[in-house]
Chain A
Amino acid sequence: MALKDGKRVLVFIAGVIAVYALVKLLAMTGFLNPYWLRILDQALIMTIGALGLSVIFGISGQFSIGHAAFFGIGAYSAGLVTKSLGGDPFTFLLALATGAFMAGLVAFLIGLPVLRLTSDYLGIATLGFGIIVKVGFDNANKVIPEMGGATGMTGIPQVANFEWIFIFCILSIVLARNLVQSGHGRACTALREDEVAANVVGINIFRYKMLAFVFGCTLAGLAGALYAHRYPFLHPSSFDFLPSIDFLIIVVLGGMGSLTGTIVTAIGWVFLLEGLRTVLGSTFVDYRGVIYALLLIIVILVRRQGIFGNKEYGFLAPVVRRKEGRNATIES
């Protein structure tokens, strides 16, 4: 907190390089075997998606339980691009852009009507949308045979490696942070706190709801696009209700309104699940849902603000610039 903004950016960059070097070192010495590297990639992908929901729900307070649908839209549309055009780096980047863009576009189109709803009604509408999308994936092979329908989509080149995922994860963190700390981000937070009051002070609430929703869903689409090229077998069941709840748990558990919390929890959550899988073995699959549910209930009952509350740390903490002089004010 005490550090100046420029210094914090330097510390952040140093931290990013250090983390990257650490992962590479651990991988080279064999401390992290390919299995756990794979899990790490998954954790970073989850982080990107969860950041999206964090902006929608944690920062702007728009309750969405169809987040995995946008993740799926990104995955399928990106997969289609590389499956038909090949897997060289340029096409891969084009696929990522397509995935993110398609998710954002669908979010915009569905947001036009749906974002007029508030609170739990919005949740139900997004849930319904998620189910419609899943039905769509199940039957997609009737329109586009490449998408495989209910049997799943195969044949996407596996071109996303740790470097790509890491770069895009960092990029997403920076983007989300900059959005949250801009005037737009503040408008979104005002929206979360009190919609009527925000409206009264002249914030165009619909516009900011849309901004947060499209931004968050675009991140989900990007995450999905990376996912499609890291684990190149897409199945509609990977994008239905349960994964949406995954994202929701991460945001609630991490603390609503805290990007730091979302990042830490997303990584922790994926590793926790894998840890449980190694400890519990085959019974894990049976108990997985029970653990999810209990965790969610207990967090809500015992620590409603989540692990981090709405606090941010380090690079993500809000920037406070003070004007010199008597009439010192805090600017955004």
Chain B
Amino acid sequence: MEYFLEQVINGLQLGLVYALIALGYTMVYGIVKLINFAHGDVFMVGAFIGYFGFTNWGLPWPLAIVVAAVLCACLGVLIERIAYRPLRYTARIMALISAIGVSFFIEYFCSLKFMFGPNYRVVQRPFEEIYWSIGGVTISNIQVLIFVTVVCMLVGLQYLVQRTKIGAAMRTVSFDHDTARLMGVNVDKTISFTFGIGAALAAVGGVLFAIAYPQIWTFMGVMPGLKAFTAAVLGGIGLIPGAMLGALIMGQAEVMTAAFISSQLRDAIAFSILILVLLVRPCGILGKTQPEKV
């Protein structure tokens, strides 16, 4: 029973990190209907910047997270400007192919020797890991840190989207670009802002991931990225609570598979869930079915 509860907590930890990535996917999809394939790689860049921040540049770790978030936000905006904006009003597949190209570019460019290098790096944690035992279940300070950070980010994001002017603009643009433009919303700026926020969230997720699972390399973003996307689809893509819910389910499913069935099947289970969801309920758990209009 304790073992099971510990696995639940491990799953929660993983799910919360996925949630930070999934939020970026879901916001971008909501606003431009694009699967931002490069999102997992922004997550990776965030992890590396955070790692350099608290090992090489001597920053305190909270500041390293902020630096990673800011730099990745710039990267996200840049990617949108160069690779997606020229294709925004063409067939959706074109932007998706471009996104795959960007994803590959970031991965392989960062693997070059003058960038991050192709090898695994072991992350020296900026603080000691402390364990508490509560009723036989062990909880670490890293898990608490992840929980608090993710909940704060989520509350902040909900406030931003529901209560501020730029949030209103984001919601407007997600309905219809042309109408939004007529209403005086600067569509380009709003989309750039959305990419920036999404990338910043992914970067925070990346640094937390690097602290929690202290080994990073340039392809580390691929699998979490795909799984977070799966989570976003599972919850209902375009919906912020959906991304959260989907990510928590994915985290549990993966950790439970690894703990009770076989750790080699954890990737397979994630994608089996994806295919199943797409078949049974393509709009996700919280999504609403929309009839196809001609």
Asked whether A132 lies within 8 Å of B271 as measured between CB atoms, the reply is yes
Asked whether A297 lies within 8 Å of B105 as measured between CB atoms, the reply is yes
A-side contacts of B217, CB under 8 Å: none
| Given A135-B264, A286-B113, A286-B118, CB of A124 within 8 Å of CB of B97 | no
| Given A119-B92, A286-B111, A286-B112, CB of A128 within 8 Å of CB of B97 | no
Which residue on chain B has the smallest CB distance to residue A63?
B93
A91 within 8 A of B: no
- Measured CA separation A293–B112 after assembly (Å): 14
Asked whether B268 lies within 8 Å of A294 as measured between CB atoms, the reply is no
B-side contacts of A294, CB under 8 Å: 101, 105
Contact with B along A285-312 (1 / 0, CB 8 A): 0111110111011001100100000000
B139 within 8 A of A: no
With beta carbons under 8 angstroms apart, the residue of A131, A196, A286 that contacts B271 is A131
Tell me the chain A residues, 193-229 only, with Cβ under 8 Å from chain B: 196
Asked whether B35 lies within 8 Å of A301 as measured between CB atoms, the reply is no
Asked whether B104 lies within 8 Å of A245 as measured between CB atoms, the reply is yes
- Measured CA separation A196–B293 after assembly (Å): 9
Asked whether B83 lies within 8 Å of A301 as measured between CB atoms, the reply is yes
Asked whether A245 lies within 8 Å of B87 as measured between CB atoms, the reply is no
B95 smallest CB distance to A (angstroms) = 8
With beta carbons under 8 angstroms apart, the residue of B87, B105, B233, B268 that contacts A301 is B87
Binding stretch for chain B, among A97-105, A110-118, A155-163, A230-238: A110-118
A-side contacts of B96, CB under 8 Å: 63, 120, 123
Asked whether A297 lies within 8 Å of B98 as measured between CB atoms, the reply is yes
B162 smallest CB distance to A (angstroms) = 28
- Measured CA separation A117–B103 after assembly (Å): 23
A121 within 8 A of B: yes
A51 smallest CB distance to B (angstroms) = 19
Give the interface SS of chain A, mostly helix, strand, loop or mixed. helix
Asked whether B86 lies within 8 Å of A121 as measured between CB atoms, the reply is no
- Measured CA separation A290–B106 after assembly (Å): 8
Tell me the chain B residues, 63-119 only, with Cβ under 8 Å from chain A: 83, 86-87, 90, 92-94, 96-98, 100-105, 107-109, 111-113, 118
A146 within 8 A of B: no
Asked whether A121 lies within 8 Å of B108 as measured between CB atoms, the reply is no
Asked whether B109 lies within 8 Å of A290 as measured between CB atoms, the reply is yes
Total number of A residues with any Cβ neighbor in B under 8 Å: 39
Total number of B residues with any Cβ neighbor in A under 8 Å: 42
Asked whether B93 lies within 8 Å of A116 as measured between CB atoms, the reply is no
| Given A124-B229, A135-B264, A296-B100, CB of A290 within 8 Å of CB of B105 | yes
Asked whether A301 lies within 8 Å of B86 as measured between CB atoms, the reply is yes
Asked whether A132 lies within 8 Å of B87 as measured between CB atoms, the reply is no
Which residue on chain A has the smallest CB distance to residue B265?
A135
With beta carbons under 8 angstroms apart, the residue of B83, B98, B100, B272 that contacts A132 is B272
Which residue on chain B has the smallest CB distance to residue A138?
B264
A-side contacts of B83, CB under 8 Å: 297, 301
A-side contacts of B86, CB under 8 Å: 301
Which residue on chain A has the smallest CB distance to residue B276?
A113
B-side contacts of A128, CB under 8 Å: 226, 230, 271-272, 274-275
Chain B CB within 10 Å — which of A135, A139, A287, A288 has the most?
A135
B-side contacts of A301, CB under 8 Å: 83, 86-87, 98
- Measured CA separation A63–B91 after assembly (Å): 12
B278 within 8 A of A: yes
A244 smallest CB distance to B (angstroms) = 10
- Measured CA separation A132–B267 after assembly (Å): 7
B192 smallest CB distance to A (angstroms) = 18
B100 smallest CB distance to A (angstroms) = 7
With beta carbons under 8 angstroms apart, the residue of B101, B265, B292 that contacts A296 is B101
Asked whether B108 lies within 8 Å of A293 as measured between CB atoms, the reply is yes
- Measured CA separation A191–B101 after assembly (Å): 26
Asked whether A127 lies within 8 Å of B108 as measured between CB atoms, the reply is no
Which residue on chain A has the smallest CB distance to residue B103?
A293
A168 within 8 A of B: no
B293 smallest CB distance to A (angstroms) = 9
B182 within 8 A of A: no
| Given A135-B264, A135-B265, A135-B268, CB of A293 within 8 Å of CB of B113 | no
A-side contacts of B265, CB under 8 Å: 135
With beta carbons under 8 angstroms apart, the residue of B226, B271, B282 that contacts A117 is B282
- Measured CA separation A175–B69 after assembly (Å): 53
Tell me the chain A residues, 273-289 only, with Cβ under 8 Å from chain B: 286-289
> Shortest 8 CB-CB distances between A and B: which pairs?
A289-B108, A128-B271, A293-B105, A296-B101, A293-B104, A297-B101, A135-B268, A290-B108
- Selected A-B contacts with CB under 8 Å, 27 pairs: A63-B96, A113-B275, A114-B278, A120-B35, A120-B93, A121-B278, A121-B282, A123-B93, A124-B35, A124-B233, A125-B278, A127-B226, A128-B275, A129-B271, A129-B275, A131-B267, A131-B271, A132-B268, A135-B267, A138-B264, A139-B264, A245-B104, A286-B111, A289-B105, A293-B103, A297-B102, A300-B94
Q: Besides A114-B279, A124-B229, A300-B94, 13 other CB < 8 A contacts?
A: A63-B93, A63-B96, A113-B279, A123-B96, A135-B268, A138-B264, A139-B264, A289-B105, A290-B109, A292-B104, A293-B105, A300-B98, A304-B94
Where the two chains meet, the residues of A that have a C-beta atom closer than 8 Å to any C-beta of B are: 63, 65, 113-114, 116-117, 119-121, 123-125, 127-129, 131-132, 135-136, 138-139, 196, 241, 245, 248, 252, 286-290, 292-294, 296-297, 300-301, 304
